[in-house]
Structure formats: structure tokens, C-alpha cells
Structure 1
Amino acid sequence: MPRLLHYSDIENVYDDPERTGCLSGCVQSLSGDDALICGTGDTTSPGVLALVERGRQSLDFFRAVDADLDTFGNHDFDYGPEATRGVVADSPQTWVSANVYDDNGDRFAPTHVVPYTVREVNGARVGFTGVTDPATPSLNPMAGELTFTDPYAAAEEAIDHLRDEGVDYVVILSHLGGGDDELAARVDADVILGGHVHSERHEYVEETLLLRPGANGHVVFEVELSDEEGADSRTKTRATATRHETADAPVDEALAEMLRGRVEAAELNDVVATVNDPLDRTEETVFGGECAIGNFVADAYRWSMETDVGLQNSGGIRNGPPLSGEVTIADLVSVIPFEEHVVVAELTGEELTAVFRECAAATVDFGEPHWWQGHLSGVELVWDDDREAVVSARVGGEPVAPDSTYTVATSDYVLHTDHEFPTIEAHHRAAEGDIQYEVLADYAREVGITSETDGRIQRLSETAADD
């Protein structure tokens, strides 16, 4: 029976050559003539090496595993469409995308990207299509000139073509995140290989197998497309999947060494501060409420622009090893690996209070309902989780006055997107500063990095207390 090997959202795995070697070694150890190797977006960026190499460091990995298929995630456009076209043209896999178009209405990179494709493997014809979150231009300003059409209609059309070609199985490469449930309900597919959301998923919806391997290359799913008949002798049995942790795999030393050379060539090893107690930046910490790494970033923003408030979206702090010991510029790039400026927004007190509410609101489709979405500086905030309400908010030690004006230092992304902190819009822009990681480096040199929290965000919950 045909097999699929699935990874997704590997993002900053390239910054750790050993871990990339494990990911490659895992895929290679599972590969074979009966297997197709599939990515589902955010396989080129973000990360330290991605920023330096404009995503082209991913080519080393794609070639090492001899990748077969991939689709686009929002971060695959981090350096603009032209850089993405270059990576696509030089990569070994077929890029499958049914809903991404250029600004002139043509399909994106039509020479190298197809809306659907058929692969014959182990005696079966497997049809593939791919779809990307239509909110990508809002999530990633560098994709603003592209058009992302309705992914469900695009998938339905592509699958109609695949069925007409007599495929035995239909597989969707999806970077829709939470949209995969609707996709499973609306289209006739055997498997949806998903991404975008960084939590793992392995379940069936409408008899369709839905998978997400999580982020940063820790897990690979091995899918078996069954060729056996079901109990009623009219349908195939459902596809199944096995989870593999890449840390247990043999290391692809050739790939690891290649990436070590790229890391050394990046010359980002200047030490800017020393941290005695590690600053954790796991998903649980960053999205759990106030944390040291979030405070550090928000404090650096406020310090650099001399504003009333500093604000960092939780999703912008990338997961990775804790900051510990000698902290380098490369370490700080890995925390926020984007070429975005810190900007100043001017908000009324009423608008600022709305932003505080949005720190707890699941306004993004790649988050979990309980996640805390923002980190703050210059603020004392008390939030009631049960009532989903601000209990009290103070800026500079004083209660927030609805009619007063406050300055907020944040990333340019926040002014661009309507998926996080939608209260803040482009018209609120008042000034622009340096690139985010440069601000972090300057602050670390001048002020340092502390591992302590100070209670600036308090989350109250009677439910939690009862538990």
C-alpha cells in the first residue's frame, strides 16, 4: 500500500543543525519506493538562517530527503514573492497550490506550481492538491501583493479533476489550521495533511484522516493508504498514521555539517548579554500569560521608542531553546526572526483597553481558546478569565483614562494584520524605529536581560481555583 511521510511548520529547525539532521535522518529511515515525502507549509521560514539566506537554507533539507510534494504556508512568503519563486524553482519537490494567485490574476509561479497532481506509487494513483490560509496577506505583509482565493472551492474544483482522472486516493496538503474541519466536511478526501497550527493533531473527521505534526521538526507522521476493502465490501478501510519522534532517529551528518557551515558564515555570534537563569520560550510558557521572555521583548520595545506601553504578540515569539548563559545576536534573531520594524501607535485609553481585552481573545485561527496572546510593558493588568473582562488596568501607575492618548511600541505587523489586536490599525502609526531583533540587542547591551517576572499581568479564574 502507498505511504506518505508528513512534516510541517519546521520553521527554525535549520538553526539547530543537529535537530535538522535528526529530522532528515527520520524521513530517510522511513522512506522507500512505496513512500511520498510531503510538507504542508512553513517549511522554508522563519528562523535565523532563513532570515540570512532568504529561505534558501531549506533547499539543503529538501534535497537531503528528496522531497516529493509541498504547499505554501504564510511564512513561506516572508521575503517576498520573488524570493519564494526562487526557492520553488530550485527545490526538488512539486509545489501544489490551488488557491494562490499573482496580483495579475495568474496562478502563482505557474512554471513550477500546479493546482493538483497525480503520483503513481506502489501500484496506486494518488491525487494531491494544496491550499493555503486565505488570511495570509493579513498574517504576512510580504504576501500582500498576492491573492488567496476561497480554499474550499479551490479544493473542490481540484478534487473534481483528480476524480475525473481516476485516482485511487485523494490527499490534501493544507495550511489552513483550524479550517481543516470545514475542509473535511466539504470535500471528498482520504487524508488531510495539515499545518499552520503548532499543536499536534491525529483524528478522523467525516471519515477523513486529519493530521498535524506540530512545529519545528519534532514529529513526522507516517501514513498508510489502505488498499483493503471495508466491512461492507464497497469501500476502502480508512487511512492510518503512525507518529515518529525525530529525536530518536539517526542523524544525517552530511546535512548537519552543511548547516553548521551556514550558521558560522552568518556571523551573528556577538555576545550582547549574559543570563544566569534560563528564559523559557516553549509554547506553554509564551502563550500561558506573563513570562520573562515576553516581558523582555515588550520592555525593549518601550525602552527603544520611549513610549507609555510596549506590546508584543505571543505568536511572534518563536519557540526554541531557552535563552541561557551568553546570549548572542543569533539567539535574539531566533526569538523574533522577522525583518519588521518596531513602530509607535497612538491610541485612546478606550482603544488601549480594547487591546488589553484582545490579549486574551482567540482572534487568530491558529491559536487555542485558552492562549494568552499579548505581552505588555508599562502596564499593570488584572484580567478575569471566567468573565473575559478587564478587572483593572494601569499605565505608569495610573488608571487608564478613556479619553487620554497613549503611545504604544509594537511591531509593524500588528498595525498591518486584522487577526491579532484588530483595534490597532495603520492610521494609528506615529513613528518607526529599528528592526525588532536590533532593538532587542541594543536593550540587552544597555539594560540586560532578567529572568524574573513582576506580576504585571494577573489572570484571575475561580474555575482554576476550584480545580
Structure 2
Amino acid sequence: MKKNLCILLLIVGALIGCSTGQHVARQQHQKSIVVLYENDVHGQIDGYPKLAGLRDAISQSDTAWTAVVSCGDYLSGGVACSLRKGEYIVTLMNSVGYDAVTLGNHEYDFGMPRLMELLPGLNTPAVCVNLYDYQGTEPLMAPYVIRQYGSQRVAFVGVSTPESMDAEAYSFFDDKGRQLYDLHTKETYQMVQQAADKARKEGADYVIVLAHLGELESETGVDSYGLAAATRGIDAVLDGHTHHAYARTDIANLDGKKIPVSSTGTQFANFGKLVIKDGKVYTTLVPAAENTYTSEKVAATLADVKAQIHEQTSRRLCKSDFELTINDASGKRLVRSGETNLGDLVTDAYRKAVQAEIGLTNGGGLRNSIKAGVITYGDVLNTLPFENYVIKMEATGQQIMTMLEKCTAQLPNEEGNFPHVSGMRFTVHSKSHRVTDVEVLDPSDNSYKPLDLQRRYTIGTIDYTLKGGMMNNCPQLPVTAQLYAECVADYLSTFANGMVDAAYARSQGRITFVED
């Protein structure tokens, strides 16, 4: 109770204490506006009652108008997302009551048709300036929505990362490679500017961008810092995508005015809070541990959703004495830049399921660690939440080498397509970005032999590999399709005495890193 009171007093203090700005004369007797924001929730559904509870507490203090918005990646990434393909998340977000949301790259995970089925059921607009039918002239979503708070009007403009055109290519192209949708990489900043200008003309007093771009420089040339610098007339950029948490970074816009850019991290690690008071915009983060407010209404919805999830996921598979992890020893995410025991196990499962020579998967597809103890089907779904299927494909040694070089070229930076392998080992030269000593396991004598660039190899992997930029245009061999979570669940069920083999206690040295 004392912690709650302290949080509320800090918020109220901020509302009262914000300095004046360009709208002072007109607004000095008005209540402030507090916009709570989140990004990259990825199925961490326990945060929704707390988000709504914080909003309700501020509203009840009668010091501010309140709003709740999302900067994307809410429909996919955990067991609650994968079951019913986002439907549970829509139910929870409707219970919270959002003012606006935008689209993250993982909103496209279940395919564009499924996204178009889900969004009409969401009781708030999904805004996005740059999602178009290919060669279409109008965006598929409203570029912005204007909300009224007292006598003040706030426009929320949405923008989605063009990286989705590569990472979620299967949603933007058909099976024959024909483009169906476009995110207009080169025009993204211009489209945001046009939406902001139009919203101002329609009477918006403030323009807040809900971005899912990330602050890091991208191969697309589109990021949130760049957006703030390339535009004018925008009051703040709330961002997602990189999972980094920062309360405020000021970026000078085209007029030299400093614009706050902010992001909450991921999975409700923080609750973002933007305050508008007398023309001044202020952003900060409330750590999840410091917010113990809870909405009873949303908590009841959550309990019902969890009961349905438990009924579908409680099947026991095995036990483990150790965590199957996506992280390094310090707890920092490793799976997109290095080998982990989880990647070893998953690729073993794929290789053995289709009796291939090599197993392969992308690190970005391994979403969560599996804790030590009893492992259930729900734990596997939490790690492998997408609708991917295990396939068997063929590739030449040269194609495999090209893939390894391409998918490790970003090191030491993270790469969603970082390759985890089975039945193969290789060395990465981190500075020169070379891959050497590639060897493939020969089952006839259980020894490793050098990769033959001319030979064709069979690979057990997931269909994303053929669609997501790792190994496009390789022939797929006929096998019975199996959901990748089911494949790994079956593999976990095969261990002797129901215990995960001790060989998986740590990564097995399939990838060696050399600093040269």
C-alpha cells in the first residue's frame, strides 16, 4: 500500500510540476494527460491487470485524463499468443481498454489473413502509415487516430518496421515469390510526416508516434531516432522492437527541437508513462516491481484465459535438472548471437524427426527459455509459439556455406537468423566475418567430415527457413508436416527415465568463435 501511494504521489507530482510551454495560456487550468504505453509484450499476460490498475488509479486521482497505447508485438511470442492464434490477447486487451495500437513485426506472424481477422475484434484502432497492398494507393490501416481529452486533442500516428518485409516475408509474398503487401521502406519517414501534418490540420494539439522501429540503425535505414530527426511537428516517439528500455532520449528534429523517444523494454518489465502538461511532454518508466495496482476486472478476464490455457497445455513431457536457455550465464540474451543448449536440443529434434543429415533453426525463433523442473507442452509452446512446421529440404554445401556467412555477418550484433545447428559444426571469425572449418557428421563412423561444396545435403528445419531469408529457393522434400512445437515435444518425451539427457546441460561446442 505504501509503495502504491508513493508511485501515485510521484505521478501526481509530475502532473502538477511540469513546466509550462507553448500552450500555457489556453491550458493552465486544464487537467494533464497521462498516456501509459507498452511495447513487445510477447504473451506476458500477467502485466495487463497491472497496466489497467495503474491507469485506473491515475484516473481516480482526478488529476489527469488517461490513455493506454501499444507500440506493437502483442499478438505473438508466447503460449497465450500461439493458442488460438492471438485471440486470447485480443480478449485481454479489450478488457484493459486501449486508445490506440500500432503493428509490430510479430503481428504478421500468423499471416496477413489472420491479422485481418483479429484486428476488427480489437476494440481500438490499429494505426499504421506504411502498410499497403502491393501497388495500392491507400494504407490498409488508418494512419492515425485523434482522441479527445477534455478540450485537448491528441493524435496517435502508427508506423511499422520495414524489416518485416524480410523477417516475416511469408506474410508479404505468396508461395511463388510474388509480392502482396508493402511497408514502403524509402517513404516511411515521409508518410509519418504527412500523417502528422494532416492530424494537425484536423485539430490535433499534440502528435504522438506509436512506432515499432527500434532505435538501432537498421539495414532498411529506418529507425526511431532517424524518424525523430527527419520530421517536425511531432511531440514524442514511443517505440518498440529492440527490447531496450530507456525512459527518454532527446533527438533534435528538423527544426532543432528536442523530441523525446522512449521504449519500455519487453514483457511488461516497465510501464511507460507520458505526461502532457501545459505544452510540455515528459516520459518516464515505472518498473513493474514498483507497480502493485491491479484491475479486478482485467484480473478476472486473465483468470478465465489462464484456465483455458491450462486445459490445453498441462500435458507433462519430462523433467530437466537444468534450464534449456536462450541466455548466457549472466542472463543476457545469447540465442541470436551464439550457441545455447536449447538451440542444440531443438535442432537435434528437427534432424532426427525427418532423418536428415543436418538440423537447422534460427535463433530468433527460440523465444523463451525452458526452466528446470517439470516440462509441459505449454513450456514448449512458450518457446516455440509460431505456426511453423518441420520440413526436410536439400541444399548444396555451397548454399549452406553462403547461409552461414550471411547469418553471422552481423556479429557481434544480434541477428534473428543466427544459425543453430545439429550434425554440423563450424568456426566463426567475429572480426573478419568469415566462416571456416565447416564439418558435417558422418553417421557411418560418427566422425565429422569437411563440408563438400558440390554435394547435396539433407536438412531438417522449419518452413520459415525457406521463407524468412535463410535458405530461399532450396527444394523441399516430401515428409509429413508436423508443427514444430509438437516435434520438440515428441523429442522431449523420448528421454530415458523421463529426464532430459545430461548432454544438454550446456551447449555442446558446435559453434566456435575466433577473434580475428
Shorter-chain TM-score bucket reads 0.7 to 0.9
Residue type at the aligned position of 1:312: T
TM-align CA RMSD: 2.7
Q: What does residue 232 of structure 1 align with?
A: none
Q: What does residue 263 of structure 1 align with?
A: 306
Q: In the alignment, does 2:460 pair up with 1:429?
A: no
Q: Which moved more, 1:453-462 or 1:2-11?
A: 453-462
Q: For the residues of structure 2 that align with 1:108 and 1:268, how far apart are their CA atoms? A: 38
Q: Which moved more, 1:249-258 or 1:100-109?
A: 100-109
Q: What does residue 126 of structure 1 align with?
A: 154
Q: For the residues of structure 2 that align with 1:106 and 1:28, how far apart are their CA atoms? A: 40
Q: What does residue 35 of structure 1 align with?
A: 66
Structure 1 residue 75: deviation in Å?
2.0
Q: What does residue 116 of structure 2 align with?
A: 85
Q: What does residue 350 of structure 1 align with?
A: 398
Structure ID, larger Rg: 2
Q: What does residue 241 of structure 1 align with?
A: 283
Q: Report if aligned partners of 2:110, 2:386 keep a CA contact under 8 Å in 1.
A: no
Residue type at the aligned position of 2:505: S
Q: Which moved more, 1:435-444 or 1:50-59?
A: 50-59
Aligned length: 439
Measured against aligned partners, the alpha-carbon deviations of 1:399-428 in whole angstroms (never above 9, x if no partner) come to 11222222222221121123xx3xx10344
Q: Which moved more, 1:243-252 or 1:98-107?
A: 98-107
Structure 1 residue 130: deviation in Å?
0.8
Q: In the alignment, does 2:169 pair up with 1:169?
A: no
Q: What does residue 194 of structure 1 align with?
A: 239
Q: For the residues of structure 1 that align with 2:270 and 2:37, how far apart are their CA atoms? A: 9
Q: Which among 408, 422, 426 is matched to residue 360 of structure 1?
A: 408
Q: Which moved more, 1:283-292 or 1:396-405?
A: 283-292
Structure 1 residue 46: deviation in Å?
3.1
Question: Any idea what SS the aligned residue of 1:34 has?
Answer: strand
Q: Report if aligned partners of 1:275, 1:326 keep a CA contact under 8 Å in 2.
A: yes
What pairs up with 1:244-323 in 2 under 5 angstroms?
Answer: 244-250=286-292, 251-266=294-309, 267-282=312-327, 284-319=333-368, 322-323=370-371
Structure 1 residue 315: deviation in Å?
0.9
Measured against aligned partners, the alpha-carbon deviations of 1:94-120 in whole angstroms (never above 9, x if no partner) come to 2212222346837566xxx42222223
CA change 1:392–1:427 in 2 (3 A) is: closer
CA change 1:426–1:260 in 2 (3 A) is: farther
Structure 1 residue 226: deviation in Å?
4.7
Q: For the residues of structure 2 that align with 1:31 and 1:287, how far apart are their CA atoms? A: 41
Q: For the residues of structure 1 that align with 2:300 and 2:156, how far apart are their CA atoms? A: 33
The gaps in structure 1 that reach 5 residues or longer are 229-236, 463-467
Q: In the alignment, does 2:386 pair up with 1:338?
A: yes
Structure 1 residue 57: deviation in Å?
1.2
What pairs up with 1:4-153 in 2 under 5 angstroms?
Answer: 4-14=35-45, 18-30=46-58, 33-102=64-133, 105=136, 107=138, 113-140=141-168, 141-144=170-173, 145-149=180-184, 150-153=187-190
CA change 1:31–1:137 in 2 (3 A) is: farther
Q: Report if aligned partners of 1:2, 1:35 keep a CA contact under 8 Å in 2.
A: yes
Q: For the residues of structure 1 that align with 2:389 and 2:507, how far apart are their CA atoms? A: 26
Q: Report if aligned partners of 2:393, 2:459 keep a CA contact under 8 Å in 1.
A: yes
Q: What does residue 459 of structure 1 align with?
A: 513
Q: For the residues of structure 1 that align with 2:213 and 2:119, how far apart are their CA atoms? A: 20
Identity, in percent, stands at 25
Q: Report if aligned partners of 1:219, 1:244 keep a CA contact under 8 Å in 2.
A: yes
Residue type at the aligned position of 2:508: D
Structure 1 residue 343: deviation in Å?
1.9
Q: What does residue 234 of structure 1 align with?
A: none
Q: Which among 263, 282, 305 is matched to residue 212 of structure 1?
A: 263
CA change 1:276–1:461 in 2 (3 A) is: same
Q: In the alignment, does 2:212 pair up with 1:181?
A: no
Q: Report if aligned partners of 1:50, 1:56 keep a CA contact under 8 Å in 2.
A: yes
Q: Which among 420, 423, 439 is matched to residue 394 of structure 1?
A: 439
Q: Report if aligned partners of 2:99, 2:125 keep a CA contact under 8 Å in 1.
A: yes
Q: For the residues of structure 1 that align with 2:115 and 2:55, how far apart are their CA atoms? A: 24
The gaps in structure 2 that reach 5 residues or longer are 1-31, 174-179, 217-222, 253-257, 442-447
Q: Report if aligned partners of 1:11, 1:44 keep a CA contact under 8 Å in 2.
A: yes
Structure 1 residue 143: deviation in Å?
4.9
Structure 1 residue 341: deviation in Å?
0.9
Q: For the residues of structure 1 that align with 2:197 and 2:300, how far apart are their CA atoms? A: 45
CA change 1:442–1:130 in 2 (3 A) is: same
Structure 1 residue 80: deviation in Å?
3.6
Q: What does residue 329 of structure 1 align with?
A: 377
TM-score by length of 1: 0.85
Structure 1 residue 430: deviation in Å?
3.1
Structure 1 residue 79: deviation in Å?
3.1
Q: Report if aligned partners of 2:362, 2:417 keep a CA contact under 8 Å in 1.
A: no
Structure 1 residue 288: deviation in Å?
4.6
TM-score by length of 2: 0.78
Q: What does residue 224 of structure 1 align with?
A: 275
CA change 1:27–1:451 in 2 (3 A) is: farther
Q: For the residues of structure 2 that align with 1:303 and 1:348, how far apart are their CA atoms? A: 20
Measured against aligned partners, the alpha-carbon deviations of 1:34-85 in whole angstroms (never above 9, x if no partner) come to 2221101112223222222221212333233321110112222333444333
Q: Report if aligned partners of 2:98, 2:123 keep a CA contact under 8 Å in 1.
A: yes
Q: Which among 492, 508, 512 is matched to residue 444 of structure 1?
A: 492
Q: For the residues of structure 2 that align with 1:329 and 1:108, how far apart are their CA atoms? A: 39
Q: Report if aligned partners of 1:60, 1:255 keep a CA contact under 8 Å in 2.
A: no
Structure 1 residue 88: deviation in Å?
2.4
Residue type at the aligned position of 1:131: V
Question: Any idea what SS the aligned residue of 2:197 has?
Answer: helix
Measured against aligned partners, the alpha-carbon deviations of 1:122-172 in whole angstroms (never above 9, x if no partner) come to 543322211112343443324544333342232122112123234332211
